[in-house]
Structure 1
Amino acid sequence: MAYVHSVVGFAPFGHYGHAMSKFVVLNLLSNHKLHMLRHVRFFDIGLLMKSLYEQWDDQNIGNGPILVEFKEKFVDMSTNIIFPIIAGKPNAEDSKRCQKTLA
């Protein structure tokens, strides 16, 4: 199931799948819910920017460019944004456990 720019998969798509897709659209992906949790997105993007700046500041010699591995940073940021929306509370330990489960 795709809704705006979010994709959620359920299989098989019977009565349960229909009920879950309805729940996701009405509760998890509603404009009100996303608006209520925008502070989570802003906070985690701020943390990413801060960590990038600190890495640049630590490694930068002569104000040149540095090499940054974004894969892990984006996975951490995405999990930290998505987990509170689904689980209802931000928790770094639960977020790391969820990352290990999904990997």
Structure 2
Amino acid sequence: MDLQLSLVALVVVTFAFSLFIRSRFWKPRAVRKSPPLAGGAWPIIGHLRLFKNPAEPLHMALGKLADKYGPIFTIKYGVERAVVVSSSEMAKECLKTHDKVFSSRVQSVVSEILGYNYAFFAFSSYGRYFHEIKKKVMHELFSNHRIEMLKHIRESEVSTSIREIYEQWTKNKKSGGSNEVVVSNERMVW
């Protein structure tokens, strides 16, 4: 019994001494300054409840927060933090000067599986591979020549969609239905 008490006392004294030494000689790393966190976040969903109002679009809600907290602030998007930048000068600095910091992706199981082990452009992390794929995507998909070459496809899709909506609307109007059009399981009310 005495041996157990002395062993417990030894563990407690050793733990207290190590805490004392750590607090006395340990120097914290440089504290990273982060932008202010917008108030009103709930524990699990964060600020998502602020963006559910269909009468107020997302950019208007973020604009109100920017008016209150300044041109750069953070919000909680669920349990993750997201930086919101509403100043063009700061956005340019984030995307040009400090692009390595902001172009990193969150590593998750979903992006690993859907992105073929992070090989997909949208899920790949910043590095040599990302730069090579970005060059190819910008050259092959988003060049002026390619956009002009595929212009007829976009025009055809838009005109087909408008024609289908109009046909649904005229069919509903003839049958005396409401001003509700159902196109591919989505409702559009006029």
Partner of 2:180, secondary structure, is coil
Select the structure with the greater relative contact order (CA < 8 A; seq sep ≥ 6). Answer: 1
Structure of larger gyration radius: 2
Who is 2:134 aligned against?
Answer: 21
4+ aligned runs moved over 2 Å, structure 1: 61-65, 68-73
Please, which of 21, 35, 58 is the counterpart of residue 148 of structure 2? 35
* Structure showing the higher strand proportion among its residues: 2
Deviation at 1:65, TM superposition (A): 6.7
Q: How high is the TM-score relative to the length of structure 2?
A: 0.30
Residues 10 and 17, structure 1, Cα contact 8 Å, conserved in 2? no
Per-residue deviation, 1:27: 1.0
Question: Judging changes above 3 Å, is the alpha-carbon distance between structure 1 residues 71 and 39 closer, same or farther for their aligned structure 2 residues?
Answer: same
- Structure 2 CA distance, aligned partners of 1:63 and 1:34? 43
Gaps of 5+ in 1: 3-7, 74-103
Q: Which has the higher helix share?
A: 1
1:58 and 2:171 correspond: yes
The percent of aligned pairs where both chains have the same amino acid is 30
Alignment size in residue pairs: 67
Q: Which residue number in structure 2 is paired with residue 9 of structure 1? A: 122
Task: Give the distance between the partners of 1:14 and 1:72, measured in 2 at CA.
Answer: 41
Instruction: State the 1:10 CA deviation.
Output: 3.9
Cα-Cα RMSD: 2.9
